[in-house]
């Protein structure tokens, strides 16, 4: 830009930055009047002379009628001056026409340059920029129309591709959304989730948490090899019972009794999944099955479960643990065999009514001794509320899980197998990951709900490590997870190591086991978080669908007049404001006050 090096005349029209000004007085600095009427003292080099004047006031710079299009056609492609442009376009060179001519230059479409040297652009240049400006203006109108529809929560069908940007923020895949910013919303996944519901892009029951946690909900499609030919102990003549919840689709354990020997049969997944290969790597990356109320996303290809799930085929291959314990409940012998079994599938409820019959009564006698030994060693038994949350055809159902002796039978048998597997691997120097847990601060055994809640919070998380150590929560000196290889990578790795030892093949080293477990447990931790958030999401959807819900709550913690409560039939924690100081284990009746699905919160009011 060319600047005016000497002082412009008083009452001349000058350009200050990009706006007009009138020179009021001239000295070491020049005093100018601006459009709003205020004055300012500036340096001469900060001004450009547009017209020498006289200009009485900036109010004289009125819009001008003329032929700017004709002027451009005469000058197209050539050089000119501001005075010549003003005279051709407006038939005079006055402060008002000088300013009108300069606005043509400032627009930049047909003229460019500075007040002393201008260029009239060519028709090709003008047509190209006119088209670009038209497209930009149309895009801006479209953008503003879109924002108006968003503000009114009335999106058009063509808006859906645009809303993918908001969806990416709602899923935690980006930190900002231009759309949310334009609508004045704080940039976070909760607000993005709320906006998508408001405009109907997501239903209020849409579950974003697997995606937000970065978990794929696509099933593995890797091809599954045939079962290898190998010697197996034939136990098909020994009754075996695969006991699970109603609707279970991945039965991976079963029980048999043979005299004083309790057999825990586990699906022989490692027979198909070698320690190397694509299926193993994908299972390690997933860490575990993802159990959602709306369905299960398997760690392994579905073909593995179909072939190896116990009781899904007439005869199933298993890795079977033969366990014997003494009168004090201590394991005295453990054998591991590759077997064939014939499993009968039963539910916990079915077995509950048969616990007094053979062979279940004898199984209970053995697991009861084992449990008594664990409790004497400091194991913690917590009877906290649990529920099953399921979604079928869009309808949410929540079913409390009763405390069944049959469930305890199976749980203790699995713990017995885990201890047996740990001791077997330790005895034979088989590197595996051991499950450990540090003991909490000493405390009396919890006998009520509030004490159990506090006790659970006092426990440190369990860890998988390469050396055996105490699992305080279970009351076991050594323990590993070995009974769920269809749904948990750490169990599969234990099976792979045991099978390699049985076959005389090379074992993974402690370092290799530790590296694989670290990767899988990181993924499994994300899966557990997605499951927890998804279960809470569907509980809130259930409450939203049932606004008149009422139920019982129990105070398990307190802070002044606020009580931390558990709602057992929902297995849901909430804070309640009470009239009086709450008492631990106090029961109160509550009703839903408000549910905020995107924020994952529900508030309740106390009745009576």
Say yes or no: 359 and 404 in one domain.
yes
Say yes or no: 387 and 318 in one domain.
yes
Domain stop point among 35, 59, 83: 59
* Cβ(149)–Cβ(156) below 8 Å: yes
**Range(s) of the domain holding residue 36:** 1-59
Say yes or no: 85 and 170 in one domain.
no
Say yes or no: 114 and 87 in one domain.
yes
* Cβ(22)–Cβ(3) below 8 Å: no
pLDDT of 441: 75
Say yes or no: 114 and 148 in one domain.
no
Mean pLDDT of the chain: 93
CATH number at residue 21: 2.30.30.140
Say yes or no: 45 and 141 in one domain.
no
Does residue 144 fall inside a structural domain? yes
Question: What's the burial of 282, exposed, middle or buried (CB within 10 Å: 0-12/13-18/19+)?
Answer: middle
Label the pairing between strands 434-436 and 562-567: unpaired
Does residue 365 fall inside a structural domain? yes
* DSSP reduced 3-state for 483: coil
Say yes or no: 167 and 78 in one domain.
no
pLDDT of 7: 83
Domain stop point among 13, 28, 59: 59
Say yes or no: 344 and 404 in one domain.
yes
pLDDT of 461: 87
What token pair was written down for 484? 């769920």
Sign of CA dihedral 148, 150, 154, 158: positive
What token pair was written down for 422? 């740990």
Label the pairing between strands 111-114 and 30-33: unpaired
Q: How far apart are CA 217 and CA 206, in angstroms?
A: 14
H-helix or E-strand spanning residue 437: none
pLDDT of 5: 52
Beta bridge partners of 32: 23, 40
CATH number at residue 183: 1.10.10.10
Does residue 209 fall inside a structural domain? no
In a 13 Å sphere around the CA of 559, the CA atoms on its Cβ side amount to 5
- Pairs from 29-34 (Cβ < 8 Å, separation ≥ 24): 33/57, 33/58, 34/58
Does residue 388 fall inside a structural domain? yes
Say yes or no: 367 and 324 in one domain.
yes
Q: How far apart are CA 146 and CA 136, in angstroms?
A: 15
Say yes or no: 134 and 93 in one domain.
no
Label the pairing between strands 240-244 and 343-347: parallel
Say yes or no: 585 and 495 in one domain.
no
Label the pairing between strands 316-325 and 261-267: antiparallel
Does residue 443 fall inside a structural domain? yes
DSSP 484: -
Sign of CA dihedral 29, 34, 39, 40: negative
Beta bridge partners of 258: 261
Does residue 216 fall inside a structural domain? no
Q: How far apart are CA 260 and CA 238, in angstroms?
A: 14
* DSSP reduced 3-state for 217: coil
pLDDT of 2: 42
pLDDT of 459: 81
Domain count, the chain: 5
Report residues of the chain scoring pLDDT below 70.
1-5, 442-443, 560-561
DSSP 309: S
CA 524, chain centre distance (Å): 13
Q: Where does residue 108 fall: left (phi above 0), alpha (psi -120 to 50 degrees), or beta otherwise? A: left
Tell which residue, 534, 508, 526, has the closest CA to residue 288. 526
Does residue 220 fall inside a structural domain? no
Say yes or no: 191 and 256 in one domain.
no
Taking residue 607's Cβ as centre, other Cβ atoms within 10 Å add up to 10
What token pair was written down for 245? 């919840």
The DSSP-derived string for 377-434 is TT--------EEEEEETTEEEEEE----HHHHHHHHHHHHHHHHHHHHHHHTT---PE
Does residue 47 fall inside a structural domain? yes
Q: How far apart are CA 233 and CA 460, in angstroms?
A: 41
């Amino acid at each position: 830009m060319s600047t005016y090096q000497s002082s412009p005349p008083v009452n001349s029209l000058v350009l200050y930055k990009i706006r007009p000004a009138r020179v009021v007085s001239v000295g070491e600095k020049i005093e100018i009047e601006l459009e709003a009427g205020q004055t300012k003292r500036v340096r001469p080099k900060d001004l450009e002379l547009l017209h020498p004047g006289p200009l009485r006031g900036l109010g004289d710079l009125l819009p001008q009628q003329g032929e700017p299009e004709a002027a451009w056609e005469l000058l197209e492609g050539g050089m000119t001056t501001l005075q010549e442009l003003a005279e051709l376009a407006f038939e005079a060179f006055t402060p008002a026409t000088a300013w009108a001519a300069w606005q043509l230059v400032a627009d930049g479409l047909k003229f460019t340059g500075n007040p002393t040297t201008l260029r009239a652009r060519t028709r090709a240049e003008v047509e190209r920029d006119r088209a670009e400006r038209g497209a930009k203006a149309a895009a801006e109108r479209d953008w503003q129309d879109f924002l108006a529809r968003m503000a009114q929560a009335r999106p058009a069908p063509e808006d859906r591709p645009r809303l993918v940007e908001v969806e990416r923020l709602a899923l935690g895949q980006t930190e900002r959304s231009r759309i949310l910013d334009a609508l004045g919303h704080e940039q976070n996944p909760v607000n993005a989730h709320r906006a998508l519901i408001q405009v109907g892009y997501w239903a209020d029951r849409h579950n974003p948490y697997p995606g937000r946690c970065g978990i794929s909900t696509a099933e593995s499609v890797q091809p599954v090899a045939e079962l290898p030919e190998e010697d197996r102990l034939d136990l098909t003549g020994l009754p075996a019972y695969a006991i699970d919840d109603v609707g279970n689709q991945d039965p991976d354990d079963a029980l048999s009794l043979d005299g004083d020997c309790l057999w825990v049969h586990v699906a022989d997944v490692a027979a198909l999944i070698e320690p190397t290969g694509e299926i193993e790597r994908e299972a390690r990356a997933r860490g575990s099955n993802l159990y959602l109320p709306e369905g299960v996303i398997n760690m392994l290809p579905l073909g593995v479960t179909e072939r190896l799930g116990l009781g899904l085929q007439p005869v199933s291959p298993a890795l079977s643990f033969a366990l014997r314990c003494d009168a004090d409940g201590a394991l005295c012998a453990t054998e591991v065999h590759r077997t064939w079994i014939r499993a009968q599938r039963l539910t916990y409820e079915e077995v509950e009514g048969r616990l007094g019959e053979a062979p279940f009564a004898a199984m209970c006698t053995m697991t009861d001794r084992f449990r008594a030994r664990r409790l004497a060693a400091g194991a913690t038994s917590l009877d906290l509320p649990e529920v099953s949350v399921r979604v079928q055809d869009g309808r949410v159902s929540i079913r409390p899980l009763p405390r069944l002796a049959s469930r305890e039978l199976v749980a203790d048998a699995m713990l017995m197998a885990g201890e047996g597997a740990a001791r077997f691997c330790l005895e034979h120097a088989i590197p595996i990951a051991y499950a450990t847990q540090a003991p909490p601060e000493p405390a009396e055994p919890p006998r009520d709900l509030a004490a159990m809640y506090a006790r659970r919070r006092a426990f440190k998380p369990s860890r998988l490590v390469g050396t055996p150590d105490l699992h305080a929560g279970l009351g076991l000196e050594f323990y590993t997870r070995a009974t769920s290889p269809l749904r948990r990578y750490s169990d599969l790795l234990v099976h792979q190591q045991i099978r390699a030892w049985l076959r005389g093949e090379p074992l993974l080293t402690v370092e290799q086991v530790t590296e694989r477990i670290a990767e899988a447990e990181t993924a499994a931790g994300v899966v557990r978080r997605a499951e927890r958030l998804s279960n809470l999401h569907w509980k809130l959807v259930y409450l939203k669908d049932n606004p008149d819900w009422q139920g019982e709550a129990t105070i398990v913690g307190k802070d002044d007049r606020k009580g931390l409560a558990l709602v057992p039939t929902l297995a849901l924690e909430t804070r309640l404001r009470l009239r009086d100081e709450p008492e631990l284990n106090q029961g109160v009746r509550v009703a839903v006050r408000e549910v905020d699905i995107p924020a994952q919160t529900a508030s309740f009011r106390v009745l009576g």
